[in-house]
């Protein structure tokens, strides 16, 4: 059972004591409990072997999370209360979609811990966790539409783990997916026309590289899927915890402080998956590298793919790993 379903069944404690939680033990993680505080916020409590690590580590307070080490808590479970020390993570939101996002990350990180973790192990494992939520206070690096388009490609692929492995860790990178000689660049259109903006580098790669341009239509509709819906679909097909963490990191870095607003935007899933088309960079009209003066950089242009013949990806040469995952 997912953590969100367990969490929603726990009663909110009738107290204003911030160190008292109603909680449920997690059978898959004997060292952890999921709980709720008096504000209705989800809480993860982790028991760890005492090694004095907490003495050198600061507690963390961010917009969405608070992480406290070695906190003495009173936990009520099955009607019985017990006082114990835990590493405690509180997610400060009552928005269920955001709670689901938080608990999805928490579940991935709990999977990374040993069955009897030390304080040091807990601290090291949750460094990424903290960075994910620190990103949610920073400036976004890409539009929600662009991110959603990349996620629909991953979701529709034969092997999402391969695509995630080669997905950009930094949203500002020149190519969305890069496996050296094999590259993918995703372009989206809300006008239902295959006219996209390219940088000169994207359509003029080195001679030993092949770039496939992925074109997709993205239309906002109230009954569509949002980024978190796509994340859930993708996460259900992934077994490697590191790749699950990578998705959450990229999404958080991309959306930054617009996360809460932009994750409410929904796009037409059926239109997007049926409109996916693939094009070789050689077949797209462009400004050739030879025509760009030596001291001119960051050249961008718009190119119309309407009359360009799409690529049959089943016939694509797949010498490397990336294109095999499509």
Domain spans of the chain, in order of start: 3-137, 144-240+258-325
Integer-rounded Cα radius of gyration of the chain? 23
Per-residue CA distances from 62 to 66, 232, 252 (Å): 6, 24, 14
Residues near 24 by beta carbon (within 8 Å), at least 6 away in sequence: 6, 9, 10, 33, 34, 35, 77
Per-residue CA distances from 311 to 6, 57, 105, 167, 276 (Å): 45, 53, 36, 21, 11
**Consecutive H or E run containing 7:** helix 3-8
Residue 211 has pLDDT above 60, yes or no: yes
* pTM assigned to the model: 0.86
Structure tokens at 102: 């938080």
Classify 235 as helix, strand or coil.
helix
Residue from 98, 300, 306, 135 nearest 201 by CA: 300
Least confident of 27-31, 163-167, 180-184: 27-31
Sign of the dihedral through C-alpha 232, 237, 238, 243: negative
Longest dimension (CA), the chain: 76
Classify 135 as helix, strand or coil.
helix
Q: What integer best gives the mean pLDDT of the chain? A: 89
Per-residue CA distances from 70 to 45, 52, 84, 239, 309 (Å): 10, 9, 9, 31, 61
Angle at 213 (CA atoms; ends 207, 217), nearest 5 degrees: 170
Say how far apart CA 154 and CA 162 lie, in whole Å: 9
- The predicted model gives 266-295 an average pLDDT of 94
Which of 28-37, 111-120, 158-167, 249-258: highest mean pLDDT? 158-167
- The predicted model gives 166-183 an average pLDDT of 88
Residue 52: pLDDT band with limits 50, 70, 90: low
């Amino acid at each position: 059972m997912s953590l969100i379903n367990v969490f929603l069944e726990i009663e909110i404690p009738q107290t204003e004591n911030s160190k008292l939680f109603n909680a449920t033990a997690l059978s898959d993680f004997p060292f952890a409990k999921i709980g709720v505080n008096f504000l209705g916020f989800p809480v993860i409590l982790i028991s760890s072997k005492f090694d004095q690590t907490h003495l050198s580590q600061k507690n963390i307070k961010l917009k969405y999370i608070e992480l406290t080490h070695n906190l003495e808590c009173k936990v009520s479970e099955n009607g019985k209360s017990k006082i114990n020390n835990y590493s405690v993570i509180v997610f400060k939101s009552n928005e269920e979609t955001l709670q689901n996002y938080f608990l999805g990350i928490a579940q991935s990180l709990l999977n990374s811990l040993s069955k009897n973790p030390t304080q040091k192990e807990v601290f090291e494992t949750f460094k990424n966790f903290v960075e994910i939520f620190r990103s949610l206070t920073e400036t976004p690096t890409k539009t929600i539409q662009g991110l959603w388009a990349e996620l629909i490609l991953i979701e529709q692929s034969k092997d999402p783990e391969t695509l995630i492995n080669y997905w950009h860790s930094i949203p500002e990178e020149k190519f969305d997916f890069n496996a050296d000689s094999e590259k993918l660049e995703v372009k989206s259109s809300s006008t239902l026309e295959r006219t996209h903006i390219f940088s000169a580098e994207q359509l003029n790669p080195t001679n030993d590289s092949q770039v496939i341009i992925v074109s997709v239509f993205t239309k906002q509709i109230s009954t569509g899927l949002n980024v978190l819906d796509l994340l859930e679909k993708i996460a259900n097909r992934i077994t490697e915890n590191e790749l699950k963490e990578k998705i959450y990191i990229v999404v958080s870095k991309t959306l930054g402080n617009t996360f809460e607003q932009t994750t409410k935007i929904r796009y037409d899933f059926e239109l997007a998956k049926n409109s996916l088309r693939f094009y070789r960079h050689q077949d797209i009209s462009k400004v050739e590298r030879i025509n760009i003066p030596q001291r001119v950089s960051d050249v961008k242009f718009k190119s119309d793919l309407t009359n360009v013949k799409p690529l049959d990806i089943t016939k694509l040469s797949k010498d490397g790993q990336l294109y095999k995952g499509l």
